[in-house]
């Protein structure tokens, strides 16, 4: 029999969102009549924006005749998408990123996992607690986890996110080689100012660390003082990779398209001490293991950069943000301590009388047919919290929040 990667043996049995989905399936089997409203995984519900649909329809037509048919595309992505990204997402905001520093992919999650391919052995990785579980799991699969002790991996460095620090961790005491940051944050919804980001960049420059910056939710930023790109900080191009996604803006969770920025100025070292460009390594990795995102999907993504596409994306984001605001308000009224939902579609909440995340998840599901994500699935410091997403229809959100109010009204009245 084949010898397999032992790291899978130490990895928890299932991935957080698969576990939530499995519990929902069991609940629905036992209660087929229940109309469960899902506010767990951050999966969009609105259809694709029309600009993308039109562009992809055209692309399908192109693919259906020999004159315009296309086979393999460039592994890095087509210039018709890389160029507007560089111009609109960066240059027009005063950030000097060029099209050839942008790598189109089949989504942020793949890139966040795959980036590990370019790291040397034994690197120390710092992750926030709580954080998006793929960061931790991918590093464990690659052998950078160590052993699991009381919910924490011995070889990872944890950055504590607590109400006392507004869920924004301090700089680590022990030096990490790689620091994974996510702002606006999943799951807490915390956002970061330019001055706060600058501290991380200065730290990384001083310590020779690499920052992987997940900004999948940057389109949800409404506060002008909140950072949207890591490259807004001075010197970030020498220490940071940025990962972005079209999933949550244009409804691409099922289409799969995102991009990663690896600036030319970013350097690493081989074991013999010689310097190498990380952009070059990532390009080499992609050429070997990836044949590029689908032409049709890239055409759809490029349409998001037209005036019409940009307006439609803004509308979609605003729609989900209305939901997030409604969730925030309802949770507060129901006696929860609440954060997030301002520059982020996620709302992070807890109640003093419900200390266990999975128990609260179970209660909401069985008593209100409402599903959320248990905070403990994002890390030990998520225990007691639950996360709601604004990704649903306004009608479902209103119904969900009315169920929630009803469920907790007795407790709130008693408390008053
Ligand atoms: C989440 O719910 O945290 C995200 O939607 C999951 C993802 O983007 O993969």
- Over 342-372, what HEC string results? CCCCEEEEECCCCCCHHHHHHHHHHHHCEEC
Tokens 């029309």 locate to 50
Tally of CB atoms within 10 A around 41: 17
- Taking CA atoms only, the protein residue closest to ligand 1 atom 7 is 42
- Tell me whether strands 346-350 and 385-389 are parallel, antiparallel or unpaired: antiparallel
Query: 45: burial class by Cβ within 10 Å (0-12, 13-18, 19+)?
Result: middle
Rounded Cα distance between 56 and 302, Å, is: 10
Q: Residues 111, 24, 249, CA angle at the centre, nearest 5°?
A: 40
Rounded Cα distance between 374 and 201, Å, is: 31
- Taking CA atoms only, the protein residue closest to ligand 1 atom 1 is 42
Residue 412 has a pLDDT of 52
The model's pTM is: 0.96
Q: Over the range 118-155, which residues count as b (16 or more CB within 10 Å of their CB) and which as e?
A: bbeeebbbbbbbbbbbbbbbbbbbbebbeeeeeebbeb
Does 228 contact ligand 1 (Cβ within 6 A)? no
The structure tokens listed for 399 are 């119904």
The structure tokens listed for 403 are 């169920």
Does 382 contact ligand 1 (Cβ within 6 A)? no
Residues ≥6 apart with Cβ < 8 Å to 221? 184, 191, 227, 228, 343
Across the chain, what does the average pLDDT equal? 96
Residues ≥6 apart with Cβ < 8 Å to 310? 88, 304
Residue 143 has a pLDDT of 96
| 245 CA: nearest ligand 1 atom | 8
Does 41 contact ligand 1 (Cβ within 6 A)? yes
Residue 377 has a pLDDT of 96
Q: Residues 290, 294, 300, CA angle at the centre, nearest 5°?
A: 140
- Taking CA atoms only, the protein residue closest to ligand 1 atom 6 is 42
Residue 415 has a pLDDT of 44
Does 256 contact ligand 1 (Cβ within 6 A)? no
- Tell me whether strands 178-182 and 210-214 are parallel, antiparallel or unpaired: parallel
Rounded Cα distance between 187 and 88, Å, is: 27
The answer to whether the beta carbons of residues 141 and 11 sit under 8 Å apart is: yes
Pocket test for ligand 1, best of 186, 252, 378 (most atoms within 8 A of CB): 186
Does 186 contact ligand 1 (Cβ within 6 A)? yes
- Taking CA atoms only, the protein residue closest to ligand 1 atom 5 is 42
CA of 416 to the centre of ligand 1 (A): 36
DSSP symbol at 189: -
Residue 224 has a pLDDT of 85
State the number of CA atoms in the 13 A half-sphere of 6 facing the CB. 5
The answer to whether the Cα torsion of 39, 42, 43, 45 is positive or negative is: positive
State the number of CA atoms in the 13 A half-sphere of 219 facing the CB. 24
Does 109 contact ligand 1 (Cβ within 6 A)? yes
103: Cα separation from own chain's centroid:
17
pLDDT under 70: residue ranges of the chain: 410-416
Q: Residues 111, 112, 115, CA angle at the centre, nearest 5°?
A: 75
Rounded Cα distance between 250 and 309, Å, is: 9
- Taking CA atoms only, the protein residue closest to ligand 1 atom 4 is 42
| 389 CA: nearest ligand 1 atom | 2
Helix (H) or strand (E) run with residue 268 in it: strand 267-269
Nearest CA to 349 among 337, 357, 363? 337
The answer to whether the beta carbons of residues 385 and 349 sit under 8 Å apart is: yes
For residue range 159-212, list pLDDT tens digits in order: 999 999 999 999 999 999 999 999 999 999 999 999 999 999 999 999 999 999
Classify 204 as helix, strand or coil. Answer: helix
Residue 177 has a pLDDT of 98
């Amino acid at each position: 029999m084949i010898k397999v990667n032992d790291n899978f043996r130490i990895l928890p049995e299932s991935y957080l969102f698969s576990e939530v989905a499995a519990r929902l399936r069991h609940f629905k089997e036992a209660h087929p009549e229940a109309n469960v409203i899902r506010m767990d995984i951050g999966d969009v519900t609105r259809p694709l924006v029309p600009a993308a649909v039109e562009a992809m329809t055209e692309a399908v037509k192109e693919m259906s005749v020999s004159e315009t048919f296309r086979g393999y595309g460039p592994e890095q992505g087509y210039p018709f998408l890389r160029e507007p990204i560089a111009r609109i997402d960066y240059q027009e905001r005063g950030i000097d990123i060029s099209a050839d520093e942008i790598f189109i992919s089949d989504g942020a999650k793949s890139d966040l996992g795959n980036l590990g391919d370019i790291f040397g052995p034994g690197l120390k990785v710092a992750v926030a607690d709580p954080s998006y579980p793929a960061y931790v799991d991918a590093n464990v699969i690659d052998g950078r986890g160590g052993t699991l002790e009381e919910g924490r991996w011995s070889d990872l460095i944890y950055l504590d996110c607590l109400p006392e620090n507004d869920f924004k961790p301090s700089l680590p005491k022990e030096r990490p080689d790689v620091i994974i940051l996510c702002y606006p944050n999943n799951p807490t919804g915390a956002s970061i100012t330019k001055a706060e980001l600058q501290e991380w960049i200065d730290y990384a420059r001083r310590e020779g660390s690499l920052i992987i910056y997940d900004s999948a939710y940057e389109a949800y930023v409404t506060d002008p003082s909140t950072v949207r790109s890591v490259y807004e900080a001075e010197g970030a191009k020498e220490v940071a990779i940025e990962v972005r996604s079209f999933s949550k803006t244009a409804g691409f969770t099922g289409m799969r398209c995102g991009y990663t920025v690896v600036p030319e100025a970013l350097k690493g070292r081989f074991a013999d001490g010689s310097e190498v460009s990380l952009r070059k390594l990532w390009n080499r990795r992609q050429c070997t293991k990836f044949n590029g995102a689908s032409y049709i999907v890239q055409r759809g993504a490029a349409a998001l950069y037209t005036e019409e596409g940009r307006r439609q994306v803004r509308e979609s984001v605003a729609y989900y943000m209305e939901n997030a605001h409604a969730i925030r308000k309802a949770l507060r009224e129901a006696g929860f301590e609440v954060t997030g939902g301002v520059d982020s579609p996620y709302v992070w909440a807890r109640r003093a009388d419900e200390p266990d995340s999975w128990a609260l998840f179970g209660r909401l599901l069985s008593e209100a047919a409402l599903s959320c994500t248990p905070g403990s699935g994002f890390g030990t410091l998520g225990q007691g919290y639950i996360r709601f997403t604004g990704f649903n229809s306004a009608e479902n959100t209103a119904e969900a929040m009315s169920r929630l109010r009803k469920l907790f009204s007795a407790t709130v009245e008693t408390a008053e």
